[in-house]
Amino acid sequence: DTGVSQDPRHKITKRGQNVTFRCDPISEHNRLYWYRQTLGQGPEFLTYFQNEAQLEKSRLLSDRFSAERPKGSFSTLEIQRTEQGDSAMYLCASSAGGNQPQHFGDGTRLSIL
Amino acid sequence: AQTVTQSQPEMSVQEAETVTLSCTYDTSESNYYLFWYKQPPSRQMILVIRQEAYKQQNATENRFSVNFQKAAKSFSLKISDSQLGDTAMYFCAFMGDSNYQLIWGAGTKLIIKP
């Protein structure tokens, strides 16, 4: 069991730049979730996929955010024209089904200068 | 909309003591799932325990057990014989059966003192 893998672990960028994060779920898991966690808070749901289909997006996910999961395997989360408020930990999780426990990766910490 | 409330921002106990973390939630759904996750400093979120709302029996996992009071919408976590490695942020989370996103509490920082 290799677990959920996220890359990079840390990303520092200047305001206005685009960034992309990658998540590799546990191989047999068909569901993949993205959350955002700011310091001292619980995570907030962003979006999730079942296989390659993006089934739900939070209102937190502005039009600067886009997520993909081609072929139902790994997923990418892109943020365009980054803003200071985008600074957070971005967490990816996967599960074997809708009501099954979600297993998390280490997260990608984004810092906007 | 579902909400999850953790009213204890921080707790500390001595090693080997028992500690209980509180969580309340609000929902109109009839079937749902409740979770406790642990997030050690700079480490990943780890599932501690899971409770299915239609099961009356409280879930247990070794030193971790829950007190699930469905009518009161309460879901507390008890850690027995606490260990230094239990030091972490603990998050209570809700998942409805109509969509499968997790709704999280703000967390409780638990410190186990030697």
For residue A1, pLDDT beyond 80: no
Q: Rounded to a whole number, what is the distance in Å from the CA of A41 to chain B's nearest CA?
A: 5
The verdict on A60 touching B (C-beta cutoff 8 Å) is no
Closest alpha carbon to B36 in B113, B104, B112: B104
Say what percent of chain B tops pLDDT 90.
83
pLDDT for B18:
97
Reported as a single tens digit per residue, the pLDDT across A65-80 is 999 999 889 999 999 9
The CB-side HSE value for B53 (13 A sphere, CA atoms) comes to: 21
Q: Rounded to a whole number, what is the distance in Å from the CA of A60 to chain B's nearest CA?
A: 14
Average pLDDT (A90-98) is: 92
Interface test with A, best of B102, B103, B104, B109 (most A CBs within 10 A): B102
Do the Cβ atoms of B49 and B69 come closer than 8 Å?
A: no
Question: CA B84 to CA B49: how far, in whole Å?
Answer: 19
Work out the widest C-alpha separation in chain A, in whole angstroms. 39
Do the Cβ atoms of B107 and A106 come within 8 Å? Answer: no
Closest alpha carbon to B78 in B66, B89, B61: B66
pLDDT for A48:
93
pLDDT for A32:
96
Averaged pLDDT score across all residues of chain B = 94
pLDDT for B21:
98
For residue A10, pLDDT beyond 90: yes
For residue A82, pLDDT beyond 60: yes
Do the Cβ atoms of B104 and A95 come within 8 Å? Answer: no
Chain A residues in contact with B94 (beta carbon < 8 A): none
Reported as a single tens digit per residue, the pLDDT across B16-30 is 999 999 999 999 988
Average pLDDT (A5-31) is: 96
Residue A4, φ and ψ in degrees, nearest 5:
-85, 130
Computed on alpha carbons and rounded to an integer, the radius of gyration of chain A in Å comes to: 13
Do the Cβ atoms of A99 and B95 come within 8 Å? Answer: yes
pLDDT for A39:
87
Do the Cβ atoms of A17 and A84 come closer than 8 Å?
A: no
Q: Rounded to a whole number, what is the distance in Å from the CA of A43 to chain B's nearest CA?
A: 6
Residue B87, classified by CB atoms within 10 Å of its CB into exposed (0-12), middle (13-18) or buried (19+), is: middle
Do the Cβ atoms of B104 and A42 come within 8 Å? Answer: yes
For residue B40, pLDDT beyond 70: yes
Contacts 24+ apart (CB under 8 A), A83-86: A83/A15, A83/A112, A84/A15, A84/A112, A86/A110, A86/A112
Average pLDDT (B97-114) is: 91
Nearest-5° Cα angle at B25, B22 to B28: 160
The verdict on A109 touching B (C-beta cutoff 8 Å) is no
Higher pLDDT: B56 or B65? It is: B65
Chain B residues in contact with A6 (beta carbon < 8 A): none
Q: Which residue has the tokens 């990816």?
A: A92
pLDDT for A40:
83
Three-state SS annotation for A31-72: EEEEEEECCCCCCEEEEEEECCEEEEECCCCCCCEEEECHHH
Q: Rounded to a whole number, what is the distance in Å from the CA of B57 to chain A's nearest CA?
A: 18
